[in-house]
Amino acid sequence: MRGGPGQLLAGRYRLTDRPEPLRAHAVDERTGESVLLSALELPGLLTTGQDPEEAAAAQADRLVRRVAAVGSAAPAAHPRLLRGVGAFVEGELLWTVEERPAGRTVAELLAEGPLPPYRAAELAADLAGALRALHAAGLTHGNLTADSVLVCEDGAAMLGGLLAGVAQEALAEDLGGPAGRRRYEVRATLVGPVAERWPLDGGPAGDCWALGALAQRLVTGRSPYPERDVPELVTAVRDGRREPAVVSGPLAPLVERLLQPDPVRRPTAEAVRGELTELLAGAPEPVDEERLEYVRNTEGPEAPGRPRGRGREAVRSRVGRSARKGGNGGDFGAGKAAKPPRMPPALLGPLLVGGVFVLLVSGIAAVVLFAG
């Protein structure tokens, strides 16, 4: 889309930066909150005997109503769900609107490297809680990806992308029919080769499969399935051809069950959250910030104990969340005295020379006093 900061969409959403293709950040002038706008191009349907403009208007209205129905059925004010604000059509674009607090997407974090396994488990537990709420409301998310998950400033993960995913699926059905080759081709164009979007089945079991794929991506920084193109990806998912779950470390047993081809054998979102909670209860204590800085300065960037990937940001979020739960924030927190730092080697020489000098002066003084 064209435009830039200051442009007003739908008479309500004021853009705050230069938009990316089919994506923009804005402020809702009615509420003052920050929102994310995601767009789909509407090619329009040509129906025999119907005016093209009327067909396009009917298509747009149908899609907006379908998105709005899901938005109204979603749990309101859930702490792990980004709230869908609404949808509108402007020009040839269908826009969905979602609240957007301060934070970074998982895709942005993974661009800097994979996450530590227990940090990945924290995020996955948050997402399992969000999915559990959606499934209890009779909804399927269908768009659980690294781009749809926002990690807020307090370290918590929030699941978004619900309305954008509904819009994509609705448009694929509108253009390609409820099933068949044509719908597959349209959906492949809209969704692309993103593993989490291509489970063998839909519904809650499909969401849990996507959570397993995303959990492994969090730990390794890559998809467990090839993502060069949609046909290869879909074939690999169908054949179970993927990277072994063992690369997920302590998350491996859960990931293995989530990626089972049989949906009946996969744990539910509620069971996943319970299992991750138990895993985190036995996790090593988070690294203390001061100790981490000392290790960096004295033992080099790859010293033991330094988290990989997000580094200090990952540590900070874990420490913050531990403090909110009433923990002591790590092995160097309240109730334990911090170990004094080691003496820098550069000071050893001067201290030894100074000590010898003091002893020499003391000896001379003793001789003078004795002789006098």
H or E stretch including 157? strand 157-159
Mean pLDDT: which of 151-155, 305-309, 317-321, 325-329 is highest? 151-155
- Average pLDDT value for the chain: 82
DSSP codes, 276-310: HHHHHHTSPPPPPHHHHHHHHHHH-TT-TTPPSTT
Q: Please give the average per-residue pLDDT across 29-53, as a whole number.
A: 79
Mean pLDDT: which of 49-53, 87-91, 226-230, 368-372 is highest? 226-230
Pair 334, 328: CB distance under 8 Å: yes
Predicted pLDDT at 298: 43
- For the chain, the C-alpha Rg in angstroms (whole number) is 28
Predicted pLDDT at 44: 63
The per-residue b/e assignment along 215-238, b for 16 or more CB within 10 angstroms, e otherwise, is: bbbbbbbebbbbbeebeebbebbe
Predicted pLDDT at 327: 39
Predicted pLDDT at 24: 94
d(CA 264, CA 28): 43
Task: Name the burial class of residue 54, with classes exposed (0-12), middle (13-18) and buried (19+) by CB atoms within 10 angstroms of its CB.
Answer: exposed
Whether 112 has a pLDDT exceeding 70, the answer reads yes
Pairing mode, strands 84-90 and 8-9: unpaired
Lowest mean pLDDT among 35-44, 91-100, 221-230, 358-367: 358-367
Read off the pLDDT band of 368 (50, 70, 90).
very low
d(CA 256, CA 262): 12
**Token pair 């009946």: residue:** 264
Read off the pLDDT band of 75 (50, 70, 90).
very high
Q: 280 vs 319, which has greater pLDDT?
A: 280
Could you read off the pLDDT of 225-274 as tens digits, one per residue? Answer: 999 999 999 999 999 999 999 999 999 999 999 999 999 999 999 999 99
pTM across the whole model:
0.76
Q: Which two tokens stand for residue 200?
A: 């063998």
Whether 310 has a pLDDT exceeding 80, the answer reads no
CATH superfamily of domain region 8-281:
Transferase(Phosphotransferase) domain 1 (1.10.510.10)
Q: 188 vs 58, which has greater pLDDT?
A: 188
Domain coordinates in residue numbering, the chain: 8-281
Whether 62 has a pLDDT exceeding 80, the answer reads yes
Could you read off the pLDDT of 345-361 as tens digits, one per residue? Answer: 454 455 555 665 656 55
Could you read off the pLDDT of 151-191 as tens digits, one per residue? Answer: 999 999 999 999 999 999 999 999 998 889 999 999 999 99
Whether 71 has a pLDDT exceeding 60, the answer reads yes
Predicted pLDDT at 365: 55
